[in-house]
């Protein structure tokens, strides 16, 4: 009898467990579904677009935008931090679903990845020390100009180099560029304008706009043939129309939008 009672209890417990798994309801009685993961890569050394706060959390314009995209599409966002010059390769190898990292949609990059519509356009800027005698493009002749490896600024500097004689020093990230500048290892840093304005304000530096180029706008990058392109384009259109992207501009790049 004891064995029979024990067996019945076990069967009843299993039935209850199976029912519980089948319903999978939350506190509000609605069925909960496990969210699919959307993996995004970024190079978190590019404030105000992407960086880490003192607690180590990802913050910035692109991070907020990525979270808004994931929410709209019903995904759970997972962010991977890597060097900027490795982002295209990560997409080509399909290790990540998309890249949002202040990346300009250049024709060269379009040969290897697909892009969304653009969501922001900054332009470029040269940064110098406050007391530097480099005040214009002509003044960089004979100087050492630091650029971030793999960026559109590296491409742009090589174009400018065809008409102005100066040395290019590629470095891993924007923070290193500024460190090299303030320690006099380079004469000029060449960066996205929104990023440059942040460093100028925070560290008491100086700078001037690049008058030579109008770079492509920033866009979300995907592996070739990704079905996410159309979905994300739809979200970007919605976020532009409802004012969310302008809200992010006002929050993160107010100096640029004034």
Q: Could you tell me the fold of the domain covering 36-121+216-257? A: D-Maltodextrin-Binding Protein; domain 2 (3.40.190)
Question: What backbone phi and psi angles, to 5 degrees, belong to 79?
Answer: -110, 130
Average pLDDT for 88-104: 97
* pLDDT the model gives residue 123: 86
Tell me, what's the pLDDT at 221? 98
Cβ(217)–Cβ(124) under 8 Å?
no
User: Can you give the residue ranges of every domain in the chain?
Assistant: 36-121+216-257, 124-209
Q: Report the pLDDT value the prediction gives residue 117, as an integer from 0 to 100.
A: 97
Q: Do domains 36-121+216-257 and 124-209 have the same CATH topology?
A: yes
Percent of the chain with pLDDT over 90: 76
Report yes or no: 225 and 91 within 8 Å, Cβ to Cβ.
Answer: no
Q: What integer best gives the mean pLDDT of the chain?
A: 88
Q: What is the pLDDT of residues 7-60, one digit of tens each?
A: 454 445 444 444 444 444 443 444 445 679 999 999 999 999 999 999 999 999
pLDDT classification of 253: cutoffs 50, 70, 90: confident
CA 37 remoteness from chain centre:
18
The pLDDT score that the predictor gives to residue 86 is 95
Amino acid 162: pLDDT: 93
- Tell me how far CA of residue 65 lies from CA of 26, 197, 238, in angstroms: 28, 21, 12
Please indicate whether residue 202 or residue 20 has the higher confidence score (pLDDT). Answer: 202
pLDDT at 194 over 70: yes
Residue-wise pLDDT for 152-184, tens only, equals: 899 899 999 999 999 999 998 999 999 999 999
Domain 124-209 annotated CATH 3.40.190.10: yes
CA torsion, points 124, 126, 127, 132, in degrees to nearest 10?
A: -160
Structure tokens at 144: 């050492």
Whole-number pLDDT of residue 33: 57
pLDDT value of position 255:
55
Rounded CA-CA distance 161/134 in Å is 16
């Amino acid at each position: 009898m004891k064995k029979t009672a024990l067996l019945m209890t076990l069967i009843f417990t299993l039935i209850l467990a199976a029912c519980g798994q089948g319903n999978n309801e939350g506190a509000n009685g609605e069925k909960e579904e496990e969210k699919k993961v959307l993996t995004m890569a970024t190079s978190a050394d590019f404030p105000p677009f992407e960086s880490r706060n003192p607690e180590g959390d990802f913050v910035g314009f692109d991070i907020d935008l990525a979270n808004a995209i994931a929410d709209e599409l019903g995904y759970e966002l997972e962010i991977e931090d890597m060097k900027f010059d490795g982002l295209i390769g990560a997409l080509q190898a399909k290790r990540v679903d998309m890249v949002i990292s202040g990346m300009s949609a250049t024709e060269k990059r379009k040969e290897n990845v697909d892009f969304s519509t653009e969501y922001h356009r900054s332009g470029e800027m040269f940064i110098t020390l406050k007391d530097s005698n480099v005040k214009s493009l002509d003044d960089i002749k004979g100087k050492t100009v630091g650029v971030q490896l793999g960026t559109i600024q590296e491409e742009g500097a090589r174009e400018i180099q065809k008409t102005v004689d100066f040395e290019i020093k590629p470095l891993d990230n924007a923070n290193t560029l500024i460190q090299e500048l303030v320690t006099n290892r380079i004469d000029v840093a060449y960066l996205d304008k929104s990023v440059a304005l942040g460093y100028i304000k925070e560290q008491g530096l100086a700078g001037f706009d690049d008058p030579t180029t109008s770079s492509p706008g920033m866009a979300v990058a995907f592996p070739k043939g990704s079905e996410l392109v159309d979905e994300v384009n739809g979200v970007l259109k919605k976020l532009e129309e409802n004012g969310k992207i302008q809200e992010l501009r006002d929050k993160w790049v107010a100096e640029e939008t004034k």
